[in-house]
Chain A
Amino acid sequence: MNLRRDVFQAIADPTRRAILLLVTSHSMTAGAIASNFDTARPTVSKHLKILTECELLQQTQNGREVHYTINAKKMKEIDEFIEPFRQMWDERFNKLEEIMKNYKPEN
């Protein structure tokens, strides 16, 4: 539970969400990630540290460079946490839509 709450803290921040989006397609160095933001480099580093600690990002050593990639397994965990709740509402709303599409006023 605590672990999951940390993960939620991590994705609560818009910059951190943007970082996660950036690295979904390919691994990137800290410098390449930082160049996408107006924020100061140390701030981006701080975000990277948090994301890595929460295991949302993985670091891989590539020669002298450290590359960041997304940890798909951890991202899935977030999804699974909210997903049943979302599905419950989605099913209710689908039903609502279906009922109202066939709705005929009585008079």
Chain B
Amino acid sequence: MELKTKINAQEDKQELVITRDFDLPVELLFKAYVEPEIVAQWMGTKVLKLESKKHGGYQFETSDAKGNVVVQMNGVIHEFIPNEKITRTFEMENSPFAVQLEFLEFEKITDSKSKLTMQIVYKSTDLRDQMLQLPFKQGLNMAHNRLEEICNKLK
């Protein structure tokens, strides 16, 4: 089966490319990146600030189930061309990860289909590989926490 979301990460490059085809007109796909309430829904984060324009910036904050802030993210927007392109930086605050550069390209395939290409450039290949492992590690952490919870209940 053909995967809808693909990732291309070449070993000798400090970047990766995520591509995804959507059953959506390009205008709606783009809107999902512009409207703060919509971004909040699909990214699963609180949107503190989102200025979708050249020289604009954004600030996201993600909390856990107990309401503790886990991740704070921010960036600036360098290029903003509606239904075509967003170029921005992305930074995870209070983390060992350096700021990254993101090139988002929105393409119309048909009136009802579109494609997103997201190129992410990292400071180094090592940093990229660490970022790639992050969801895996988070998954492990969650499993450990869950285990801990269960064990605590057994005491």
Q: Which residues of A contact B (CB under 8 A)?
A: 1, 5, 8-12, 80-82, 84-90, 92-97, 99-101, 103
Question: Contact between A89 and B20 (Cβ–Cβ < 8 Å)?
Answer: yes
Known: A12-B11, A103-B28. A82 touches B132 (CB 8 A): yes
Do B42 and A92 have beta carbons less than 8 Å apart?
A: yes
In the complex, the answer to whether B129 meets A89 with C-beta atoms within 8 Å is no
Q: Give the A-binding residues of B (Cβ under 8 A).
A: 3-7, 9-13, 18, 20, 22-24, 28-29, 31-32, 38, 41-44, 116, 129, 131-136, 139
Looking at chain A's contact residues, is the secondary structure mostly helix, strand, loop, or mixed? helix
Q: Are A9 and B11 in contact (CB under 8 A)?
A: yes
Q: How far is the CB of B5 from chain A (nearest CB, A)?
A: 4
Quick one: which of A11, A81, A84, A99 contacts B32, CB cutoff 8 A? Answer: A99
Listed from nearest, the 4 A-B pairs whose CB atoms lie closest are A8-B11, A90-B5, A84-B136, A96-B42
- Contact check, A9 vs B12: say whether CB atoms are below 8 A apart: yes
Q: Which residues on the A side are within 8 Å of B132 (C-beta)?
A: 81-82, 85
Q: Are B133 and A81 in contact, with the CB atoms below 8 A?
A: yes
Query: If the complex has contacts A12-B12, A85-B135, A100-B31, are A93 and B7 also in contact, measured as CB distance less than 8 A?
Result: no
